[in-house]
Amino acid sequence: MKLSDFMVGKAIVPKLKSQERDAVITELVDSLVQAGCVPAAHKKEITQKIIEREKQGSTGIGKGIAVPHIKHPSVKQIVGTIGCSKEGVDFASLDKAPVYSVLLLISPPNNPDRHLEAMESLFSHLQREMFRKFLRQAETREEIEDLLQEADESQNNNRL
Amino acid sequence: MPSTQDSHYLEREVEIRNPDGLHMRPAMQIVDCASRFRARISICKNTQCVDGKSIMQVTMLAATQGTKLKLIAEGEDAPQAIEALALLIQNEKFDIG
């Protein structure tokens, strides 16, 4: 699966306003609502579910990355966005270090296999140091969109 | 595979049985479990082998329900590690069904 299959370019937040986990999650869900990918009526519920999920076990996987995600019936296909923080956000990460790149995903509940494919795609790029570095250094939405597009293209080339 | 006097090399095939497959939480449980042992743990899906102690790599396997994985453990406590991981994956099914 390509990143562009689920990452919503116009919902990307290149400079997160908040440095606090719950507020960052709220900001990103809000951005998906603004982009028309999540119905506004479910905004509160989705935000709360993601925070709840995060409390059960942090998705801060280390190396400055967190991947908060849930399944919710209000979305028909997987939607995701990215938020970047120069200051760092405390996500209670495995390595205790601050998070600079937050990748948030909402998947429909009825297709767990497709959710796994999206995660596979995301992590195949996230485990590359250059990808993480460029993501962290990006200043604008355009730079992040370019990075995602290049990542998708490099994946294609590798498979040819 | 060869094994030296003080180290073990063990392989075991396991099947992902929970309906949601190896999503992030089960992947974290695998990493937690694998990290309790000194043995080097690899998990393979077909020809793709990843480090069983890396959350990113284990999540990358994207193993759906019914997928067969090969566990490989190398090191002194490899038998215990293989046992614990197989129990978690196949019998306890990550405790979430």
User: pLDDT band at residue B97, thresholds of 50, 70 and 90?
Assistant: very low
In this prediction, residue A20 carries a pLDDT of: 96
- Which positions in chain A touch B23 (Cβ < 8 Å)? 112, 115-116, 119
Least confident interval from A42-46, A92-96, B86-90: A92-96
In this prediction, residue B7 carries a pLDDT of: 72
Residue A155 has pLDDT above 50, yes or no: yes
| Chosen from A119, A122, A126, A131 to mutate, greatest number of chain B CBs within 10 A | A119
SS (H, E, C) A59-77: CEEECCEECCEEECCCCCC
B51 three-class SS:
strand
Q: Which of B93, B91, B92, B84 is nearest to B10 (CA)?
A: B84
In this prediction, residue A94 carries a pLDDT of: 82
User: pLDDT band at residue A116, thresholds of 50, 70 and 90?
Assistant: very high
User: pLDDT band at residue A159, thresholds of 50, 70 and 90?
Assistant: low
Residue A17 has pLDDT above 70, yes or no: yes
User: pLDDT band at residue A69, thresholds of 50, 70 and 90?
Assistant: very high
On whether any CB of chain B is under 8 Å from the CB of A57, the answer is yes
User: pLDDT band at residue B1, thresholds of 50, 70 and 90?
Assistant: low
Separation of alpha carbons A11 and B82, rounded Å: 43
Residue A39 has pLDDT above 60, yes or no: yes
The answer to whether B20 contacts A127, with C-beta atoms less than 8 Å apart, is: no
The answer to whether A112 contacts B57, with C-beta atoms less than 8 Å apart, is: no
Q: For residue range B18-70, what is the model confidence (pLDDT) as tens digits?
A: 999 999 889 999 999 999 999 999 999 999 999 999 998 999 898 999 999 99
- Which positions in chain A touch B19 (Cβ < 8 Å)? 112
Out of B8, B12, B23, B40, pick the active-site residue.
B23
Which residue segments constitute the domains of chain A, with CATH numbers given?
Answer: 3-159 (3.40.930.10)
Residue A160 has pLDDT above 90, yes or no: no
On whether any CB of chain B is under 8 Å from the CB of A123, the answer is yes
In this prediction, residue A22 carries a pLDDT of: 97
Active-site annotation holds for B23: yes
CA-based max dimension of chain A: 43
On whether any CB of chain A is under 8 Å from the CB of B68, the answer is no
Which residue segments constitute the domains of chain B, with CATH numbers given?
Answer: 8-95 (3.30.1340.10)
Hey, how many other C-beta atoms are within 10 angstroms of the C-beta on A96? 10
| Chosen from B60, B94, B96 to mutate, greatest number of chain A CBs within 10 A | B60
| Chosen from A116, A120, A131 to mutate, greatest number of chain B CBs within 10 A | A116
Q: Give me the interface pTM, i.e. the ipTM.
A: 0.77
**Structure letter (DSSP) for residue A95:** T
Separation of alpha carbons A101 and A135, rounded Å: 7
End-to-end CA distance of chain B: 35
The answer to whether A57 contacts B64, with C-beta atoms less than 8 Å apart, is: no
In this prediction, residue A67 carries a pLDDT of: 96
- Which positions in chain B touch A112 (Cβ < 8 Å)? 19-21, 23, 64-65
